[in-house]
Amino acid sequence: MIKKLCADHPRAWDRFIPAALFAFREIPNDSLKFSPFELLYGRQVRGPLTILHELWTNDSTDSEVKTTYQYVLDLRSRLEETARLAAEQAEISSRNYKAYYDLKAKPRKLNSGDDVLVLLPSSSNKLVMQWLGPYSVVECKGNGVDCY
What digits encode the pLDDT tens for the residues 85-94? 888 999 999 9
- Residue 61 has a pLDDT of 54
Taking the C-alpha atoms of residue 30 and residue 47, their distance in angstroms, rounded to an integer, is 20
Nearest to 39 by CA among 83, 69, 99: 83
- Residue 69 has a pLDDT of 77
Query: Total structural domains in the chain?
Result: 2
Are 37 and 58 in a shared domain? yes
DSSP strands (E only) in the chain = 115-121, 129-136
Taking the C-alpha atoms of residue 114 and residue 136, their distance in angstroms, rounded to an integer, is 6
One-letter amino acid for residue 12 of the chain: A
Containing domain of residue 123, as a range?
A: 108-148
Are 12 and 70 in a shared domain? yes
- Residue 144 has a pLDDT of 62
Task: To the nearest 10°, report the CA torsion of 7, 11, 15, 17.
Answer: 30
